[in-house]
Structure formats: structure tokens, C-alpha cells
Amino acid sequence: MRTALVTGGGRGLGRAIAAALSRDGWRVVITGRDAGVLDEAVAAGDAHLALAGDATDRDAVTDAVAQAGALDLLVANAGRFGTGGPLWESDPDDWWRDVEVNLRGVQLALWAALPGMVARGSGRVIALGSGFGNVSAAHGSGYGVSKAAVHRLVESVAVELAGTGVTAFSVSPGRARTDMTLAFPAGFTDANPAFLEPPAGGWAPPQAVAGLVQQIAAGELDALTGRFLHITTDLEAALAAAGDPDKGTLRLAGW
């Protein structure tokens, strides 16, 4: 049985991803800080094993990967958007916590999971990115910075993984209605009230990003390793342009 590890798998997007993989016959291990929520997911059949721990704790992440066993798939989903408002009015430690959870959480998960995958010559890793990583949004700089860094981290790691049989992706769920988006900090939503309203096409269902993860997990998108994929990405066109290094990569505007 194939094994997947989903961080932040107890609720929201993480749980939707875990449930979809479980239905596909994967053995799914989920992690998160709330043991009760994780146990509920297991009891509901959305995962097979729950391991409580902090995504930014090196020992906890190392232990989770060890307990999960040989991994075929890693989904680094744990995230935080807790600080809103202008940078100079934000608490520096709280601002940094957003970066730490969203970036160090991914970095540690990759660091712990990739050696085994590389040694076996197969595996896929996915980091949950965000459109905030490549568009500017006022009053949420910590979150935006962290997601831009995640996209670049995945792109860099994918280059390092060339020839190993392991692929890496960052994916964006679009504007999904989850516990995290419902709890966007007031400093952000006050400045961006539109984010409280459904987008023109309606809220993106968590199942949409789960479906994208399923396609990656099945190996259908391996040619797009290193790319940032949004749930609205035209995957057929992206696959057709897979040989173009400037397609689907994060680029910062220049002169």
C-alpha cells in the first residue's frame, strides 16, 4: 500500500486531501497540533494514523516521518495566517511566526522526507502555496513573503532532485473557505474586505485542490515538477509547454 504523509491534516484543506487519498487506497498519516481533531479524522476514516506535533519542531517532524515509514507522497500543508496590518504596526515575533510555520514547516518536512525518497528512487512532494505568493496584498506581508519563499523553495529543490526519480510541486487551492480563511486577521480583512465575500465563481471547494493532489500523486503531472500549479491552471496546456522553463515558474518583476 502506498503511504502519504499530510501535515496539518486534521481540518480544512489538509483533511480534504487526506480523505481523498484514503479513498484512493493510500495509507494516510496526518500530523497537526490538535490531537483531538486528528483523532476525529482517523475515526471518520479520512486517515489511518494521527501523530500530534508542531510542523516547526525538528524532532517532531523527524519522528513523524520515521513513524510513517517509507513515504511515496508528502503533502506539506500546515500553514498559518495570523498577522495582519502594516508591517510597522505588526508584532515582529507574531509576523515571523507566520513565516516560520509556512516556510520552516515545509523546509523541515522536505528535509526529513526526501532522503528516503531519493534513496528509493521514487516519490513526490507537494507544498501548499498560495496566490498571495505572487501577487501583492496589503496588510498580510508575513503570509505573502512565506508563500513566495515556498514557491521558490520548491522550484530550487526540484532542480536538485533532477535525475533522482523524485518530483516536487507547489499548489494553490484558490479562494477556498476553510478554518484559516474564516480566521484571517482583522488587520488584513479590514483592509481587504473583498476577501470576506465569495469570488465571482464562488468559493473554491477543498475537494478541488484535493483533486489536483490526486493527479500529482498518480504521476500524471510529473513533467511539471518544480512548477507552481493553481487549481485553475490549464494542465493540458501546461503539460504541452513543460519544456519551457519560463512557463509556470515564479518570476519577480524587474526593470
In this structure, the chain runs to a length of 255
Cα(156)–Cα(159) distance, integer angstroms: 5
The residues near 69 (Cβ < 8 Å, ≥ 6 apart) are 3
The residues near 162 (Cβ < 8 Å, ≥ 6 apart) are none
- The residues facing 168 across adjacent strands are 125
The residues near 253 (Cβ < 8 Å, ≥ 6 apart) are none
Q: Which residue has the cell 504541452?
A: 240
Task: Indicate if 143 belongs to the active site.
Answer: yes
C-alpha dist (Å) from residue 39 to 5, 65, 183, 228: 15, 18, 23, 32
Cα(171)–Cα(209) distance, integer angstroms: 8
Choose the catalytic residue: 81, 143, 188, 228.
143
Q: Which three cell numbers stand for residue 17?
A: 486531501
Catalytic residue ranges = 143
